[in-house]
Amino acid sequence: MMHWRLNLKSAAAAAVLVALGAAAGIAAQRYGKPKTVVHVVTLAYVEGTTDEQKKAVLDGVEKMASEIPGIRNVWLKPAKVQGYQYEKLATGKDKYHRMTDAFVMEFESAAAMETYANHPAHKAWEKLYVPLRARSATSDITNE
């Protein structure tokens, strides 16, 4: 009798493990390849730029997203920023400038990104951003 209960418990435990394994298989990593365009900007601010000025730049990105059609999402808090810009000095030496900040905008299409580039809200934002930007690099990425 005791042997039968032990086998029943073993069978139940095995069934649970099989169910968990099946659930893990169903919940396997899934990913998409959206047709949107991701606009990734890494930058370094000019020396002396205040936290308030940096916040104003990012607030401006968010404001543009509310005003320019075709912007789907924005990312304003970089988790990690990597990258350097290279400069060849007049002395012949190399100098590398570390990028310190980043933000991202997602556009519904390449046409929406073109609309953004020429939109009055973007032109107004540039008046704040450009004087504070020491250097930047932009990558536009899509699956189209």
Let me know whether 21 and 43 are in one domain: no
Any idea which of 21-25, 64-68, 131-135 has the lowest mean pLDDT?
A: 21-25
Same domain, 93 and 128: yes
Q: Which residues contact residue 106 at a Cβ distance below 8 angstroms, ignoring those fewer than 6 apart?
A: 36, 37, 38, 39, 71, 72, 73, 74
Beta carbons within 8 Å of 96's beta carbon, 6+ residues apart: 84, 85, 86, 87
Tell whether 25 and 59 lie within a shared domain: no
- Give the model's confidence band at 29: pLDDT under 50 very low, under 70 low, under 90 confident, else very high: confident
50 in the same domain as 18 = no
Count of positions (residues) in the chain: 144
Global confidence as pTM:
0.76
Question: Residue 137: pLDDT above 50?
Answer: yes
Q: Higher confidence at residue 13 or residue 111?
A: 111
- Tell whether 46 and 1 lie within a shared domain: no
85: domain range? Answer: 37-142
> 68 burial class (0-12, 13-18, 19+ CB within 10 angstroms)?
buried
- In sequence order, the 6+-apart residues with CB closer than 8 A to the CB of 19 are none
What is the number of structural domains in the chain?
A: 2
pLDDT at residue number 57 = 98
Task: Determine the Cα–Cα distance for residues 25 and 108; give it in Å rounded to an integer.
Answer: 32
Do residues 56 and 115 both lie within one domain? yes
Co-location of 2 and 51 in the same domain: no
